[in-house]
């Protein structure tokens, strides 16, 4: 549905009758995944391109530049997957303690088995190296070494492990990142202790969680909004700029791996959640073309001075067409995978 008004997704205003719970709660610790500043000039927008736009790293050089002034343009292939069906998806009892850090259902595990059988990443590598008619476009096949970046929630780690065989996909490691967490609202969004996760998933690197044995995001929202009994509705979803902070920090992590740590020949599989991915691909975007948004959650916990300046997390280029933008912005189904390219200048 095309809207006549050029509204930006995420630009909801606080109702005059709504009381923000932060006025009565004192927040003591801001998690590292949140920005400490509200300066919008420091918030970067990242460029996403269709998977067909790349097969190799590209060197760009202006004709007036010499060899030393050459700039490197990296295109990092990324595959985004939403976790398979979890127990909370079926029960829809998101605040029920029984679904804390919800696990996959039997149907969810079957969804993973089907995706694993389809091997979409291996097929994508073949398609990207040809012109669609089987003719080789480049002398060099697209890079195939991969790493998994996953939310530390159990359902996402399970999905990543069941969908992507490490040998077949040449996966060099799995890293858990707080940045990829679901919007933190209910008990199903609370992660387990780091030590518990390490014990169950010994093949996953939890090094970036070592600092916080307990869930730092849930602690932040408890301090700000109160306990599960005191506050039973949206928390982070009512302050989407916080979720956007996490998404931006994740893309900064990807850039750093490519530019600083020398992993430019690496594809990244991202195992995350529906509302987080919706935020990544829709935050700050115009609703004129596509009516994709968070479902009307009022931003009552938005503590910024300027609540209307929602800097996009990603941008879509006109030359890539509306179809690619629509493909990335629509909601994810359980265990759905989509691929794109992060262009780094």
Q: What is the span of the domain harbouring residue 271?
A: 24-275+332-344
- Nearest CA-CA partner of 234 in 21, 9, 15, 7: 21
Q: What is the pLDDT of residue 10?
A: 47
Flag whether 316 is in a domain: no
Averages of pLDDT over runs of 10 residues in the chain (345 residues) are 37 39 56 76 88 56 41 81 98 94 98 93 62 49 79 98 93 97 96 97 96 96 93 95 96 92 86 97 88 71 88 95 95 97 88
Q: What is the pLDDT of residue 6?
A: 33
Q: What is the pLDDT of residue 140?
A: 44
Flag whether 174 is in a domain: yes
Contact (CB, 8 A) for 150 and 175: yes
- Backbone phi, psi, residue 304, to 5°: -80, 155
Query: What CATH number does residue 220 fall under?
Result: 3.40.50
Q: How deeply is 202 buried, as exposed, middle or buried, from its count of CB atoms within 10 A (0-12, 13-18, 19+)?
A: exposed
Flag whether 62 is in a domain: yes
Q: What is the pLDDT of residue 130?
A: 52
Residue 115's H or E segment, with its range, is: helix 106-118
Copy the structure tokens of residue 315.
């941008």
Flag whether 6 is in a domain: no
What domain count does the chain have? 1
For residues 122 and 79, give the distance between their C-alpha atoms in angstroms, rounded to a whole number: 12
Q: How deeply is 248 buried, as exposed, middle or buried, from its count of CB atoms within 10 A (0-12, 13-18, 19+)?
A: buried
Flag whether 35 is in a domain: yes
- Nearest CA-CA partner of 272 in 181, 189, 338, 202: 181
Flag whether 255 is in a domain: yes
Q: What is the pLDDT of residue 54?
A: 62
Q: What is the residue-wise DSSP string for 5-55?
A: S-PBTT-----TTPPPGGGTS------TTS-S---GGG---EEEE-GGG-S
Flag whether 199 is in a domain: yes
């Amino acid at each position: 549905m095309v809207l006549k008004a050029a509204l930006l997704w995420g630009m909801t205003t606080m109702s005059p009758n709504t009381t923000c719970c932060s006025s009565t709660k004192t927040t003591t610790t801001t998690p590292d995944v949140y920005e400490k500043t509200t300066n919008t000039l420091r918030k970067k927008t990242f460029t996403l391109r269709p998977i067909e736009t790349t097969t190799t790293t590209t060197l760009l050089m202006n004709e007036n530049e010499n060899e030393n002034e050459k700039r490197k343009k990296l295109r990092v292939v990324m595959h985004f997957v939403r976790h398979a069906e979890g127990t909370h998806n079926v029960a829809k009892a998101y605040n029920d303690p029984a679904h804390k850090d919800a696990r996959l259902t039997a149907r969810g595990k079957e969804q993973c088995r089907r995706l694993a059988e389809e091997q979409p990443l291996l097929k994508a590598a073949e398609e990207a190296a040809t012109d669609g008619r089987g003719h080789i476009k480049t002398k060099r096949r697209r890079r195939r070494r991969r790493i998994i970046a996953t939310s530390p929630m159990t359902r996402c780690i399970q999905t990543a492990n069941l969908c992507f065989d490490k040998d077949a996909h040449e996966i060099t490691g799995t890293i858990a990142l707080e940045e990829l967490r679901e919007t933190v609202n209910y008990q199903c969004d609370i992660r387990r202790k780091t030590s518990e996760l390490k014990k169950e998933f010994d093949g996953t690197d939890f090094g970036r969680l070592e600092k916080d044995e307990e869930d730092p995001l849930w602690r932040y929202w408890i301090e700000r909004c109160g306990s599960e009994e005191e506050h039973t509705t949206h928390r982070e979803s009512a302050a989407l700029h916080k979720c956007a902070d996490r998404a931006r920090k994740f893309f900064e992590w990807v850039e750093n791996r490519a530019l600083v740590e020398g992993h430019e020949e690496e594809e990244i599989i991202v195992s995350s959640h529906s509302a987080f991915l919706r935020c990544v691909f829709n935050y700050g975007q115009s609703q004129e073309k596509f009516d994709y948004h968070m479902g009307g959650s009022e931003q009552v916990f938005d503590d910024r001075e300027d609540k209307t300046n929602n800097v996009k997390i990603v941008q879509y280029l006109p030359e890539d067409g509306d179809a690619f933008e629509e493909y990335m912005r629509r909601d994810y189904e359980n265990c759905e995978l989509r691929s794109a390219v992060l262009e780094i200048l």
